[in-house]
Amino acid sequence: MKIAALVSGGVDSSVALHEALSSGVGDVTAFYLKVWLEDELESIGECPWEEDLAYVRQVCEKLDVPVEVVPLQLEYYERVVSYALSELREGRTPSPDIFCNQRIKFGAFYEYLGDDYDRIATGHYARVDHSGDLAVLKRGVDPVKDQTYFLSHLTQEQLSRAWFPVGAMDKNEVRARAREIDLPNKDRKDSQGICFLGQVRYPEFIRHYLGEREGRIVERETGRHLGTHRGFWFYTIGQRQGLGLGGGPWYVVDKDTERNEILVSHRENAGEASRRSFTLAKLHWIAGPPARDRLSVRIRHGPDLVPCRVEPAAGAGKAASAAGDTLRVEMDRADRGVAPGQFGVLYDGEVCLGAGMILD
């Protein structure tokens, strides 16, 4: 086999590269995707792509693997950043890392490689079962690090060539392996936040592109004016940090985009805004729609899987739902952070079935 290993300079992808090499299944070449928007963002923060690339080169030299840098800044802006900005303008909560995987790492990069490589190895905490007619995406064994939420939009064509060498390891094992083989980045801290921002804070990124527009913060129950904010696009449903209100905690429970108002509730009343049900649209199934209606759902990245029941949304028959239209999700417990624009990712046990965008 010919294996293309995506490396970022972090520990996870470096250990994945080592595991791909150690497997002996084929020839391995490392690739670094340059998607940092350093020209756009240099005025608002540090974009450490040069530091990342330096670590990549040190790791590849240590492991004696050739490395190639692939510039995909334009593709990244057109396929990921523009989507995120459009969703923010509409008052929704985007999930750019989902499309970073589907449209860039397993999209534009696949296009760049063509048919020259049999497998693409990455440092994602997930697993792929290639034993059947269809590739099946399974959760990583580390419940905290599991990244199937961000991989939920991969197609069969993309998943059939994907390989996640650290998916059967937990984070402590990955760190231990890095130290065991003395990787140059064995003690490097994990990156946080959205994949293209690096050390740029997300609010600064939003301000750079969308600016600020002062608006009112209003108590939902009384209509009382509590304070001001810098623009509804800085806030998401369920948020409690960054509101600048005393006597809290306060939670964002809704947004009025036409009036540029943020509606909040105090903790005593926030539970009333919690949701047990929502509608998913633009459904994407990795290996076909679910065979049963009792599943689990994840509405944000993290270890929390909520048991749920799914059914075709009102007005859409089963055939329409299976074809990718709409699905109603009823969770076993309520959540105050259900936000339009986010993705609900559905699971049947260990298997990640796919996802849909939350409408309401």
Asked about 60 being catalytic, the answer comes back as no
* Nearest in space to 23 (alpha carbons), one of 198, 170, 165: 165
Taking CA 265 as the corner, what is the angle to CA 270 and CA 216, rounded to the nearest 5 degrees? 155
- Report in angstroms the alpha-carbon separations of 164 from 112, 188, 217, 260, 320: 20, 21, 44, 43, 33
Instruction: Exactly one of 47, 195, 308, 352 is catalytic; name it.
Output: 195
Asked about 195 being catalytic, the answer comes back as yes
Beta-carbon contacts of residue 128 (< 8 Å; ≥ 6 apart): 135, 136, 137, 138, 159, 162, 163, 164, 167
In whole angstroms, give the CA distance from residue 62 to residue 17: 11
CB atoms within 10 A of CB 38: 15
What's at 160, amino acid-wise? Answer: S
Tokens of 12: 């996870």
Q: Is 200 exposed, middle or buried (CB count within 10 Å of its CB: 0-12, 13-18, 19+)?
A: buried
Instruction: Exactly one of 47, 60, 100, 308 is catalytic; name it.
Output: 100
**Residues annotated catalytic, as ranges:** 100, 195
